[in-house]
A and B are shown apart, each in its own frame.
Chain A
């Protein structure tokens, strides 16, 4: 089984700990994971803002970079959804415009082997207890694209429930968007902020110390609001909780910038 990590551009630069956690976790589960360095971005920011043509080279890149792998695992529901939901549409539109140029083949190759992390763990590896230890009170925000486009369902919950030491609290209005929405956060800052504040308020009512998510872009928005308001809440990617063990417990990122 040849497994590649698609770390995503946001994680590569801003949240390397999440990528490291995925590697740690998969290796602990006996998976030999590779990181092809030709990878960059799935093209979601461009596509969702209305720049479909700019995403086409990235579709080709994604398919080419991961040609030699059976599985592509990514710790981002929205990036996985971008590949699975939108790559075929991009190929179809290009074909309709007479510019097929291999996009259909690229999409067809990429789609079936792209897995969001929790899907890969539960569906491919068949595990829910990954041997993690995380003695904190946690509430989980299911980001929209994982929830609705991929249909992750209860996979994240099953994985979290099996973590030793964890206290899991149900997030009220969990299925409601946090207000990030990519460029929405900048184009509609007031609504975005209002939604984010509501999400944080809901998280605080649970009494959790940690707001967990499976998409760092949503967490980046929420974390930005949280630190600005000095709210006593931390945001942690699901992969980092699952990577945490008694021997190598999770260490929160420092203010100096995720140095360990």
Chain B
């Protein structure tokens, strides 16, 4: 993997700052609450939503179970249709393959369709190092690129910016990348869109190589499918001479018929639209129509390892709709950057530690970035039980256990940072399973209640008492009252 997260703050460390950023909080509150409501309306229109959700999960599970078969079928179909298939074992491999393919064209500029896979591999940075300039053409990705920022959302990478901030970015930064924004640019959405359109038009008409991802790959025909809203994708997928598409292997579906389910669930879950404005499909190359050279780069980058985990593998069903981000109260308050990886939100909290391991402090903090409230599971259009996987990953971190790394089964050790917690949990579990010890602990708690301070020393206790009072400890436990209720009948409750 090209992006290591050593040195990046853990989720709680990053959230400590981001939760205090009132502008960020306001931007996210507005954006996520709007899309949440719209999604709820869009999905409630379909009476068979639960069935579509179950079907989506079943199609994905079936494909993942037979992924070797469908990937070979896909490779054959793409090759037969005039495309070339490359297999990338990890991010560096993918970036190297793509860099070499661009060098072979003699070009030094590429236009890009919004792609999470290229975010995952850090392709833009790799291309810059190789002397190739990549132009993001999705509006939000453009904003992020111009501002030298990082995406904070799977679908809406600039969700953390409001339109005034975007106007300022266009004003100050567009000129350095190409056609500048007009001097009298306002922050109305129409004006901002027009400025982006004029800026991007130059790139679309000049650039000979495009890079894309794909939402789906249909194995039976070798067809790539891209869903988008802005039409920039259609430009990139049709105008250049060479098209290079980087896709995670789990994006395979067996047949066109399977696509029917996802064409209903993906737009409604992501943008809350009944149908997205642009759905582009292509199969290899077509003489005289569209790119004459097509390369498909299939990316593993931890996916096969994830597939080996019977609980965790459901994360590979993900169709990147981002409904779980929009509904997540933790995401809304911490913001996408706190997750420190291209995949923020609940899905990122289970995907990143599986794809890249739990060894870095940041990745090990991600499975805890959830209250397990279950809102993400409820909205997931492929029924990924995100809380279940989060708890599973917490176990992997605290207890260690079997996992698969680079195709080899290994047993990882329990994380060092959890030593005190582990001891506490073991002691608590023992006490709770020994009635005499549990009663004694309760007695000790109630009898020393006058001594309990309102704020406690120590890092863990301070985490509670910095903002909250401790609950007052009553004089008697419930069981104490129960055991004596006949004796002191006067003390009848209420």
Where the two chains meet, the residues of A that have a C-beta atom closer than 8 Å to any C-beta of B are: 7, 9, 11-17, 19-21, 23-24, 35, 37-38, 40-41, 43, 45-55, 57-58, 61, 89, 96, 144-145, 148-149, 175-177, 179-196, 198, 220-221, 223-225, 227-228, 243-245, 248-251, 253, 255-260
Contact = CB atoms under 8 A, between A and B. Distances in A.
A194 B373 contact: no
B479 A144 contact: no
Nearest to A216: B471
A67 to B, nearest CB: 16
A183 B12 CA distance: 13
B474 interface: yes
Interface string B483-494: 100000001111
A149 B468 CA distance: 27
A258 B374 contact: no
A184 B479 contact: no
A248 B494 contact: yes
Given A14-B473, A47-B391, A181-B373, A188 B368 contact: yes
B399 interface: yes
A187 B44 CA distance: 36
A259 B475 contact: yes
B23 to A, nearest CB: 15
Chain B interface residue bracket vs A: 35 or more
Given A47-B391, A57-B433, A191-B334, A177 B329 contact: yes
B229 interface: no
Given A24-B493, A188-B11, A195 B333 contact: yes
B446 to A, nearest CB: 7
Contacts of A192: 371
Contacts of A196: 467-468
B425 interface: yes
Contact of A37 (B435, B463, B475): B435
Nearest to A221: B468
Contact of A11 (B394, B433, B478, B480): B478
Contact of B493 (A21, A49, A55): A21
28 contacts: A13-B445, A16-B478, A20-B481, A20-B494, A23-B482, A37-B482, A43-B429, A46-B425, A46-B429, A50-B367, A50-B391, A50-B398, A51-B395, A51-B422, A144-B375, A148-B373, A176-B375, A177-B329, A177-B373, A179-B329, A179-B371, A182-B371, A182-B372, A186-B464, A189-B464, A224-B468, A249-B494, A259-B474
Given A45-B428, A50-B398, A186-B463, A253 B472 contact: yes
Closest 6 CB pairs of A and B: A181-B371, A224-B468, A50-B394, A177-B373, A248-B494, A54-B429
B382 to A, nearest CB: 17
Interface string B31-50: 00000000000000000000
Interface centre among A11, A19, A41, A190, by most chain B C-beta atoms within 10 angstroms, is A190
Given A61-B433, A257-B472, A189 B333 contact: no
A193 B467 CA distance: 7
B16 A177 contact: no
A35 B334 contact: no
Nearest to A53: B399
Contacts of B388: 89
Contacts of A187: 12, 368, 463
A185 B13 CA distance: 14
B39 to A, nearest CB: 14
B442 interface: yes
A219 to B, nearest CB: 9
B375 A177 contact: yes
A225 B19 contact: no
Contacts of B474: 13-17, 253, 257-259
B432 A9 contact: yes
B466 interface: yes
Contacts of B16: 190
A181 B372 CA distance: 6
B470 interface: yes
Contacts of B492: 248
B483 A51 contact: no
B72 interface: no
